[in-house]
Amino acid sequence: KAGVTQTPRYLIKTRGQQVTLSCSPISGHRSVSWYQQTPGQGLQFLFEYFSETQRNKGNFPGRFSGRQFSNSRSEMNVSTLELGDSALYLCASSALQAGTDTQYFGPGTRLTVL
């Protein structure tokens, strides 16, 4: 099976702009989670989608939003970008929604905000 894919791999934006990141899970996986990774804060959970519904959300402002499509692909949107949004954004998929299943990570999208 193909792994989790994320596009684009690298992105450069300026403050105030918005950005959309895409994640395609492993075939058959219905859960997609998003994480922000920074040197200072480590890995922080953004949100999880299962069957097109947001199941849980981390402690991030409303500028961060997401959605999941019927084919389980997911997008994450960040509006009104700030310098502090510069990070590696990781997507992970799992077969089950419950918190028992192993997550498989994509390579990430490196977002730089200037």
Q: Residues interacting with other proteins, by CB under 8 A? A: 33, 35, 42-45, 48, 55-56, 88, 90, 92, 97-100, 102-108
By C-beta, is 34 or 113 nearer to other proteins? 34
Q: How far is the CB of 37 from other proteins (least distance, A)?
A: 9
By C-beta, is 10 or 14 nearer to other proteins? 10
Residue 16's contacts (CB-CB under 8 Å, 6 or more residues apart) are: 80, 81
Residue 97's contacts (CB-CB under 8 Å, 6 or more residues apart) are: 30, 31, 50, 51, 55
Q: Tell me the residue type at 23.
A: C
By C-beta, is 9 or 15 nearer to other proteins? 9
* d(C-alpha 114, C-alpha 3), whole Å: 31
By C-beta, is 35 or 64 nearer to other proteins? 35
Q: How far is the CB of 80 from other proteins (least distance, A)?
A: 26
Q: How far is the CB of 98 from other proteins (least distance, A)?
A: 8
Provide the 3-class DSSP secondary structure of residue 72.
coil
* d(C-alpha 29, C-alpha 77), whole Å: 21
